[in-house]
Amino acid sequence: QIIKCKAAVMWEANKPFSIEEVEVAPPKAHEVRIKIMATGICRSDDHVVTGALVMPFPIILGHEAAGVVESVGQGVTSLKPGDKVIPLFVPQCGECNSCLSTKGNLCSKNDISTGAGLMPDGTTRFTCKGKAIHHFIGTSTFTEYTVVHETAVAKIDAAAPLEKVCLIGCGFSTGYGAAVQTAKVEPGSTCAVFGLGGVGLSVVMGCKASGASRIIAVDINSDKFVKAKELGATDCVNPKDFKKPIHEVLIEMTGGGVDYSFEVIGRTETMTAALACCQYNYGVSVIVGVPPAAQKITFDPMLLFSGRTWKGSVFGGWKSKDSVPKLVADYMKKKIVLDPLITHTLPFTKINEGFDLLRAGK
């Protein structure tokens, strides 16, 4: 049956979300329809609103969520109605080169690279006012019900609190994994983290869990420093407090640069600064923030020639379907904390206020 429910529709760029009644089609073969119980607001959603991440409109955004399976399509055997799940914006088909490689996690079935805004079969499950509405990176969680492909959903512990573990759908896993999986931070190393939103704070937690001896948190909003220190930052630096470029400040602070740096903002200037602040011969810099569309980086190749490594990390390098249930289990065993990352809890109808808080750095 078609379900009619509320969704936050983005009709065009740079406009507020519009709460509308949408029709959600039943799941087709190998698809799952989910009742969304909790969803986080992530900067990547806002990047679509501003045009920094190009997607087709109208669209239902949202990709960091948890919910309960409402119904399953033909051929779905791994899930049944009532199962608690987390939708996965990086699917895991288990068949492509990235899925088959121990080194990779960005399944070729992802819609981040293509930005088609459709289900894998090239159609949509959402209609509003007679118009087809696009999906967002295979998840679309700013709605009471969504449909995802079976490869893009993970079954989790039935006892897990959905309003907390929804963060494992993006923010926490992305940041924590960038440190423990992508960079593979070692005990005793020094790290610099640019950007202290939810993802940046999760990088700080990952560096701490890996045994880093020094974690330098960098942000132009000093209000972020208290929480960064709570979660493991040893130093906090505001680039606005210095006359010289921030990479020079960090090189001086560490006597030659950090072992690992992380750019968790999505700005080309900070990506270059993060590369330059890591040790010239063996430093590793990881790009975690979504890069803005149509912008290029110009840099001195000597920065890499001397031995530095520049890498990217999507969803923290985790193979999504395999790892998400394990991360939820770790949360349930109190091996990881999520509560400090939650600043506000709002009803769905106040989604625009939520984005205002995000944009205000709150």
SS (H, E, C) 163-185: HHHHHHHCHHHHHHHHHHHHHCC
Q: Which backbone phi and psi does 88 adopt, to 5 degrees?
A: -120, 115
At 50, the pLDDT band (50, 70, 90 cuts) reads very high
Model-wide pTM > 0.95: yes
* Contacts of 103 by beta carbon, 8 Å cutoff, 6+ apart: none
Strands of the 126-128 sheet, one edge to the other: 3-9, 18-24, 126-128, 131-133
At 117, the pLDDT band (50, 70, 90 cuts) reads very high
| pLDDT reading at 293 higher than 90 | no
CATH class entry, domain 183-312: alpha beta
Rounded average pLDDT over 201-210: 98
CB-neighbour burial class of residue 226 (10 A; exposed 0-12, middle 13-18, buried 19+):
exposed
Output the CA–CA distances (angstroms, integers) from residue 10 to 50, 291, 293, in the order listed: 11, 21, 19
> In this structure, are residues 232 and 213 in contact, taking their beta carbons and an 8 Å threshold?
no
At 228, the pLDDT band (50, 70, 90 cuts) reads very high
At 180, the pLDDT band (50, 70, 90 cuts) reads very high
Q: What is the pLDDT of residue 39?
A: 98
> In this structure, are residues 234 and 253 in contact, taking their beta carbons and an 8 Å threshold?
no
Residues 124-172 have pLDDT tens digits of 999 999 999 999 999 999 999 999 999 999 999 999 999 999 999 999 9
Q: Which backbone phi and psi does 179 adopt, to 5 degrees?
A: -80, -50
At 244, the pLDDT band (50, 70, 90 cuts) reads very high
Q: Where are the domains of the chain?
A: 3-171+317-360, 183-312
Is the domain covering 3-171+317-360 a CATH 3.90.180.10 domain? Answer: yes
Residues with catalytic function: 42, 44, 47, 63, 170
The three-state secondary structure class of 196 is: coil
Helix 246-254 vs helix 268-276: crossing angle, to nearest 10: 20
> Can you tell me which residue has the tokens 């019900």?
145
Rounded average pLDDT over 274-297: 95
Residues 55-72 have pLDDT tens digits of 999 999 999 999 999 999
Q: What is the pLDDT of residue 294?
A: 82
| pLDDT reading at 292 higher than 90 | no
Provide the phi-psi class of 79: left if phi over 0, else alpha when psi is between -120 and 50, else beta.
beta
| pLDDT reading at 231 higher than 90 | yes
